[in-house]
Chains A and B, each alone.
Chain A
């Protein structure tokens, strides 16, 4: 017995041994059996080089196993041109870097006449060309390719199974998808759902009692993220063929306040133009709520030029930001500075600086006094402002806050409309006479405060400059400093520095403006620039070069006009029009009490996705019947949305149909009824121009350099946004699509039935725009760049003289103006692509409008007031500091974007501990790495804290891009397939889950800026507790 037990133990020992050494034994077996891993002796699994360059001659030889092509990156909204390297044997992307022709990836970029082959040599060791001509992709751009073969992709159309957001789907055929979404029916066993055909009612008003809202078709809403080069096709379908008014982008929750504030100065509330510092030539730049090199648009180009400028010692910059980011670099020392600021108080800093400029005679008065471009240019200024124009400031006057116009003063304006474009603005000339601005050749008076006689009535008028000055002088520098938490000497030092570099200084902003005082903070940033007159100057505040329009009534094809084209009508769902234009206003006014409106209206804003959800779920102005989400993720991106409207979205009785077009399942389309797979990055088409920050014209070609992974339609097209809208158009027989959907320049019809029909003809327009069309691609260009596979399509869709030119564009990855096109050939100190209209130092569009809830006039110029809710109640009045001692902000992850979570860059930095200042952490008993709970009036969440001094005291900073619930963080079931469990991708927090709703609004909409309607994600009241 005893002995047997010993043997048993021995056997157990052996078994344990075998288990413990199994790996070792396996490895030994491997090396005996010689399991081949395809390794090289010294290089392991490193990829074969894509080509060879003879360093003596520069001769290029391609690797026949690989393909190198130029297309676009969608790793973030910068949309850089990239060089994609593909393994021909597997069809997989090996690695991605920059396209040397593309200014977003290369500075200076290669001219178009360099052949494809030479462009490869230009990236190599040959004569060290690859160092100076370096063309890059960023960390995210390098990692993004992981999404192509991601197990989380949607590859076939999906239909939900069970309730919304339950994570269960059934794959369906493309034909079934089209049938169901067009015809509707009892789709989910939950009752009848209107299909898109029924919803396309262009006649019946939404509300017969209020026809101004427009026809029922407006109850189909469409949200898209950013223009990835396909937006104009989307708009053509949804707006001009299908007919809905409601088609918006993500602007209102991206940088809406910045854009709106800038739009006020630039006088364009639809296009909302903005400038950027000319980083290649600037001497001093103030980054206020934008973090160059950390995020920002264009991310890479800005980062590269910042790095170059500070290392050269040419560029000094200061980053005003509650949080420290990669915009700072201590190795570059005093060339760059970080100055922490209390969130949402930039206006105070800026007005403090302006006050110092005023008091120290640093305002460029001469510049401001030129009332027209002509006068300005005659005096060597490439831009001009409205500073000298006269504004009606008579209280109670219907034109209060608007400019005095010729017609008011009895000037003969012929048959021009009063207050129209032809009705002249007025200023006081040097002699003291009121004159139409065009009549003043030199300076106009900047300081005017006078009474004028308008039809027998005395009206007080003042210049915009006077009004701005008043606004600036409303507080002392010390008071301003106190508001923003920046010491007086720093405020003054910044003003001094800013005004000590001539025109080679500039201030710029973006995401940091998304606070409860965002619009005026942003307006103040751009106004500061106007005070030194830096617009259009080399080294100053410069405009984007823009693109070459593909979708235009272009030189070769008309991609815009078509018979039956619909101009959508009505009141937009986001209420981004003046309240005074509504029925409600008229009725209430008749009843004697025009204000308040039921809820906010936003005259100074473009489409407001931020307001859509409050609108639709409160039926004000009306509700949606169907929502289309195309590569958009508002539930992840808009603060407070999920908390407030998640339940409503899950309820089909409140919003009957949700369709998403997306390659992935994100936090928003997890609520969809149908998901239409879309192409991802290198699989897709498009023509994209630089969003901003590129002084030369550029247009990047996106084309499928790899085979799309999605399922195909019956006629062989990949299922995608394009094939979806083509099929919808066909099913509903919509205009502007189909066999005769497009027309060439001579008016002859050509088909619009597949993606190539659209993009190739857009390409032809691009190729022929400008003074001279681009040259022809050579056979070698075509063969080497992978464009050969497009040839049959190019030849079929285009005319004989066109296809080589379009092939040229694809071989170069786009069309790009020469780098030398940045500055004016005649006047090299001026930019070439200049903003030519006036800068509205006083905006009559804003200053003449009223807050629909309070009925009060908005200030019409840069001004400072504390972050507030829609009705003007300061946030701190509702949520005082004693109860909510912290202000919460978020900043973009330097590495992640909002959907890069399941890629290799995540392994480097898998979560986002929230940053707390050591002096704030200590009293809470928190140490680096402690668990804590973060709370706002609308929610609470667990987090980990990162304690360091890289954050303003009293502020908690959250890196954006983590805290996902989807995109891999939850495993979905699709038919009989279950996605892998990667719950590690949930790591970290998303500040937007704590976003707050506006307590002053009955709709309890998420907090938005009162003027721009932009989401407020900076400066949320909060608490932190040890967990």
Chain B
């Protein structure tokens, strides 16, 4: 005796977190992931990591600066962001995030500056366009290893807090079973790392002579992240299917009946497997692997945020979200991309990628 229910009148709720949120989580994730990749070469001074770490720091900085702008745009009252600091509500992860982001981004700026001062100074000396500016910014251009370590530590703390809060903020939303699983923050971190690696591959490719060693190291790491992602995904599914974990079962139950979710799941698994295989078997195909990884990082966030909001909390079936053309949709995404490109060009004008990667000498 199963009731069949067909909704005849109901309203669909709009998504309240717009694609801005996806962009923020995408960029901030890549940023903190890339920041971590900068440590071996710059802080621990592993020579084989030098090039990777410099590129990674560029990734971290560009993404880390554009992310909060996207976040700001997701507020419907962006002019009131000061309220985050005037009216702190400790029970809200988002409130904490408002403090963590400046720590992280501030630390990151300091850390990058300290890391790149010598190079900026060098650029200033070598002349060329923007050389003067680079020289000014270098402000002497000394190396300061202990300061760098301090800055790295601050940034690292910031990065961990950001990773923690971004995961927790979404995970605590019990009203959305799809978000409300303890695996979610882990998935965020793993895919953030994969995205960071992918972006490093991309930057590496832009060098006048891409470093093949970089490609191999990064690909190998990427393969691991994909394996990890598969493992996390499989355990998510297992927990959901077995009924051992109620939150996972609920999450699965919400999306399992939908065709587009099933398609998405298959897609995600395939993409991860392909990326893994390529990265493992053909670590040389750097750009493709990088793009695949970035695509998965984006997809995961898009489906979690936008797809998650397509699941009504009370109504039957699903809402269907269509990407609007305006600022709240496509134009917004293009805008963030524009900002990102601007930052990229600004940075690489001051510090050309080749110089950063130390590949000029090759």
Contacts and interface: CB of A to CB of B under 8 A. Distances in A.
Asked whether A and B interact, the reply is yes
Contact of B6 (A14, A24, A28, A946): A946
Contacts of A12: 338, 341
Nearest to A324: B8
Contacts of B15: none
Interface string A8-42: 01101111111111111001111110000000000
Given A31-B79, A908-B9, A908-B11, A19 B341 contact: no
B77 A27 contact: yes
A3 B352 CA distance: 11
Interface stretch (B218-226, B234-242, B325-333): B325-333
B334 A27 contact: no
Contacts of A16: 334-335, 337-339, 341
Contacts of A825: none
Interface in B302-328: 326-328
Nearest to A330: B3
Given A16-B335, A19-B334, A24 B341 contact: no
A42 to B, nearest CB: 16
B173 interface: no
Nearest to A928: B6
A1027 interface: no
B6 A27 contact: no
A946 B80 CA distance: 45
A1025 B38 CA distance: 63
Interface in B111-152: 129
Contacts of B326: 23
A21 B73 contact: yes
Interface stretch (B185-193, B249-257, B282-290, B342-350): B342-350
A47 interface: no
A961 to B, nearest CB: 13
Interface string A307-332: 00000000000000000000000000
A401 to B, nearest CB: 48
B327 A21 contact: yes
B78 interface: yes
A895 B76 CA distance: 33
Majority secondary structure of chain B interface residues (helix, strand, loop or mixed): helix
Contact of B345 (A10, A21, A31): A10
Contacts of A9: 341, 345
Interface in A596-634: none
B269 interface: no
A6 interface: yes
B11 to A, nearest CB: 7
Interface residues of A, number: 33
Contacts, number: 95
Contacts of B4: 948-949
A162 to B, nearest CB: 37
B189 to A, nearest CB: 28
A29 B6 CA distance: 46
A7 interface: yes
Contacts of B339: 13-14, 16-17, 20-21
Contacts of B342: 10, 13-14, 17
A15 B334 CA distance: 10
Interface string A944-967: 001111100000000000000000
B332 A20 contact: yes
A379 interface: no
Contacts of B341: 9-10, 12-13, 16
A6 B345 contact: yes
B69 interface: yes
A20 B18 CA distance: 13
A957 to B, nearest CB: 12
B51 interface: no
Majority secondary structure of chain A interface residues (helix, strand, loop or mixed): helix
Contacts of B6: 928, 946-948, 950
Contact of A17 (B72, B76, B79, B335): B335
Contacts of B340: 13
A27 B78 contact: yes
A10 B342 CA distance: 5
Contact of B335 (A20, A31, A947): A20
Nearest to B343: A13
Given A21-B73, A22-B327, A7 B332 contact: no
A31 B346 CA distance: 30
A21 B69 contact: yes
A147 B140 CA distance: 72
Contacts of B9: 895, 908-909
Interface in A715-761: none
Contacts of B76: 27
B336 interface: yes
A367 B327 CA distance: 76
B127 to A, nearest CB: 13
B345 A17 contact: no
Contacts of B346: 10
Given A13-B339, A946-B6, A23 B345 contact: no
Given A13-B340, A15-B338, A20 B327 contact: yes
B30 to A, nearest CB: 18
A30 B76 CA distance: 11
A14 B69 CA distance: 13
B70 to A, nearest CB: 9
A24 B73 contact: yes
B334 A24 contact: no
Contacts of A23: 73, 326-328
Nearest to A10: B345
Contacts of A909: 9
Contacts of A3: 129, 349
The list of the 5 closest CB pairs from A to B, nearest first, reads A20-B335, A16-B338, A31-B79, A13-B341, A13-B342
Given A10-B349, A22-B327, A908-B9, 5 more contacts: A14-B342, A16-B341, A20-B332, A20-B338, A29-B79
